[in-house]
Structure 1
């Protein structure tokens, strides 16, 4: 069982600079709280004596790395870190301070959920917290959560899962159902931080000794808006253009061609990766999403890795684009896929709906998007990630309405007509420029697209 940290110990993991905000004035309430729950006042008094805290959350501001932030730390020793009316008062005050001072919010969560002794008045604090989070997001301010042991109930379903980026300490109990309210035959392994990473709801598990650096990296990247489009990466592979359509296809499929990670390594000096689609899935082999630093600017990225992209990959990309849009961070996408996954499981996971959602995210984004086709551009599964009017291509790439082999099959042509079909489809980079599908061909030097606006 992981160590359960106090609020002060949790704060010490991420900052040496913390100033408490004054607690809001307590509202009027009779003895033993709003429900006159016998013994409630005594329970609170014992919790204060034991923890040194007057409520289940500590709120304030400080600096993490070089980024000022509002910090919220739950004290699990105070009635199980439960949420009551006074908790809601403090959380609202923290978010109000963040919006007033234009600061991101970092929540160090450890809670068992809503406070029984306050009944429905405690439960409605979840609506209050959700509203404050929504107002902070609408203000263009980032929210980061670190899940400690345990994070369950409404605290997980609001401050935890509702954050823009979610990290967790190893082995932390994480789940909507706490240990005392689960079915007796429930698998405890499903209620862990590691299981939530596999389900795409937590982005990463971070050991305590690495937490400060990880949080500082994320806060630094998420608090650097920019109005300028991401520069087009330089091409890392072949410099000469393909002679035929089939030559373009063959080169794009070459296993030695530079892939997405090579481009990310060359483009960014540092980066942090998002871990899932927030809908129950991950596609680490097909889509990589995150934020990175390029020439001192933060740029978000969603990149395909050369394999068939699964539904979770498209949903992860849509999540990335919407988050970047909310934070006014430009987006770079790299297209490289033979197409969307077309197996039965992909259909059961809603591949069509996932692609549709990504098309919508791209079409409605206000932040500038830049796309580079670095390999295969296979049909709608590739086009969904492409920026309208700002897509570029490398010399060793192609883009096609469908793979030449499949096009030939649809047209009922024999196998020996596949190469001729590739020529007819005009899939070469230079063909795409002539057709107006891409803006240009990336060379050895980085190309800067025109200003966004």
Structure 2
């Protein structure tokens, strides 16, 4: 006869979602994630710290929780008794545990909320502890990682609880102003004042898979405005689609992802600088452009549009190391035509921003053919501002026929979004390098190309309008596109001669689409060379040169070259036997 007593039942638990019986030890080994349906059970603050921090590295800040009862609040129990019961049940002094730790060897300050303690509600003592943690991060120049789990502000403390939203937000603002990374990890559930303050005003917002977050909870919404809610409303996946979070991460991957982000973000411009080009590319030269030699413009246009040509997502893993894609404009959307993230270029952390097309009709449609909407340019601006705060260089990869011209884009402020990109890049206090990898179409391309160095792949093009558009407007015949392409002087050698581009990155024989990895290696070598030069410039000089660069375009090509100080400086990728340097302008 099989025993079914309490001891046996304690060995098993039932998943709250799929209702499967799971061996308790198996659930614990799986970090409290159901092995059958993937449901992430709530973790206590100590369990979360144990999961995220390196072993034996967490040190509690030791700040005592204040005794606060401003309203003498009584529901079924006086508030002090509720606090006492919560402390007895959880073994915690308050709804948050704060301390220093290492995550993958990287120093950080942790503030981890515990939903067991009065629903993780934010009271005056909770807010004070989190604020002190932020102040400790500022004093020690450490990143701050907040792990949220809360139903909102603590009702028993009235308006004093509400004030904590502003207090903590101010402390986070100080960290951001100091260029220190702030990260929030959203766990289930995160609602109310916590969601509307420190959970979402950090540099990066990571949601654990299945977590829910919102200002008003579903029950409040239903009971106040009687609105039906869509499936998956306020889940992590919903938030990602609507541009509210950077990443959705499974619990088993959370520590590794935080470690990677800390490694990329903490070095900044004060790091060791980029590594020299590898031994496989001992020289960096520009492809052949003999005196008077210009490639066929229409052939370049067709090559630039080749569906097999590498995209930003491809280059993210061949040009850079450790790329982590980040999402969302924080205003309601995540434009798929713009890819952004953090990565390393040699030893230097960088911010990467690029247009994204696709390799087939389905992907092109999903990415809107690389034509970004306002949300894409707002996402780019958000990453530029992060680069400025953390002191990271910016690399942009440009391949777009132009900005999205649809009705929805106009309704959402397409022109203003592009204008904000231009303004932000023009005064960004870190080096900016733009690489035109395919099509550089009009203002949609320039929005990511206000740079200190502009490089073009050998078969890339860059123009004020597409050849078809020019042919239709000026030649009154769309069939005249090849003629318009030649007239627009849109090839890489043309743009170098005009002073718009600084150099040409050679492509592998047959074009980048024939050897995407080789193309990526050539871009990497060119970026390393350019960045090594730019990192030596003081910020004031960097900005002065960038402003002068764009101020001089009213002059003719000869005057541009003379004013810039043309030199035979190699910029591109490794050459074949037909390659030779051309004049490159600084």
| TM-score bracket relative to the smaller structure | over 0.9
Alignment match of 2:353 (pick from 289, 294, 302): 302
Q: Is the 8 A contact 1:230 1:332 kept in 2?
A: no
Alignment match of 2:132 (pick from 51, 75, 93): 93
Name the residue aligned to 1:134: 173
Deviation, structure 1 residue 416: 3.6
Deviations 1:297-330 (A, max 9, x none): 2111001123212222111111111101110011
Deviations 1:186-224 (A, max 9, x none): 416222111101111112221111111111111111111
Q: Give the root-mean-square deviation of aligned CA atoms.
A: 2.1
Name the residue aligned to 1:190: 233
- Give 3-state SS (helix, strand or coil) of 2:156's partner: helix
- The structure, 1 or 2, with the larger RCO (C-alpha pairs under 8 Å, 6+ apart) is 1
Name the residue aligned to 2:316: 264
Deviations 1:128-172 (A, max 9, x none): 011001001001100111111100111112221111111112211
Structure 2 unpaired stretches of 5+:
1-16, 18-39, 358-369, 507-521, 539-586
- Give 3-state SS (helix, strand or coil) of 1:345's partner: helix
Q: Aligned partners of 2:288 and 2:334: how far apart in 1?
A: 36
Alignment match of 1:47 (pick from 83, 86, 111): 86
Alignment match of 1:61 (pick from 93, 100, 103): 100
Deviation, structure 1 residue 379: 0.2
- Give 3-state SS (helix, strand or coil) of 2:99's partner: strand
Q: Aligned partners of 2:275 and 2:242: how far apart in 1?
A: 33
Name the residue aligned to 2:465: 402
Q: Aligned partners of 1:353 and 1:190: how far apart in 2?
A: 30
Instruction: Answer yes or no: is 1:446 the counterpart of 2:486.
Output: no
Deviation, structure 1 residue 412: 4.5
Larger Rg: 2
- Correspondence 1:381-392 to 2 at 5 A: 381-392=444-455
Name the residue aligned to 2:62: 22
Change (3 A) 1:94 1:295: same
Q: Is the 8 A contact 1:67 1:216 kept in 2?
A: yes
Q: Aligned partners of 1:173 and 1:389: how far apart in 2?
A: 42
Name the residue aligned to 1:7: 45
Name the residue aligned to 2:341: 290
Q: Aligned partners of 1:419 and 1:206: how far apart in 2?
A: 48
Q: Is the 8 A contact 1:232 1:446 kept in 2?
A: no
Deviations 1:375-410 (A, max 9, x none): 000000000100334111110101000101111222
- Give 3-state SS (helix, strand or coil) of 2:505's partner: coil
Change (3 A) 1:416 1:240: farther
Q: Aligned partners of 1:370 and 1:231: how far apart in 2?
A: 16
Deviation, structure 1 residue 231: 9.2
Q: Aligned partners of 2:386 and 2:500: how far apart in 1?
A: 27
TM-score of the superposed pair, with normalisation by structure 2: 0.73
Name the residue aligned to 1:274: 326
Q: Aligned partners of 1:209 and 1:172: how far apart in 2?
A: 14
Aligned length: 445
Deviations 1:74-130 (A, max 9, x none): 011111111111112101110110011000001110011101011011101101011
Change (3 A) 1:227 1:373: farther
Q: Is the 8 A contact 1:249 1:398 kept in 2?
A: yes
Instruction: Answer yes or no: is 1:212 the counterpart of 2:255.
Output: yes
Q: Is the 8 A contact 2:467 2:485 kept in 1?
A: yes
Name the residue aligned to 1:247: 299
Q: Is the 8 A contact 1:231 1:370 kept in 2?
A: no
| More off after superposition, 262-271 vs 190-199 | 262-271
TM-score of the superposed pair, with normalisation by structure 1: 0.94
Deviations 1:34-92 (A, max 9, x none): 11113000000000001011111110010001210000000111111111111121011
Change (3 A) 1:161 1:6: same
Q: Aligned partners of 1:158 and 1:303: how far apart in 2?
A: 30
Q: Is the 8 A contact 1:152 1:174 kept in 2?
A: yes
Q: Is the 8 A contact 2:65 2:93 kept in 1?
A: no
Alignment match of 2:245 (pick from 190, 202, 205): 202
Deviation, structure 1 residue 281: 0.6
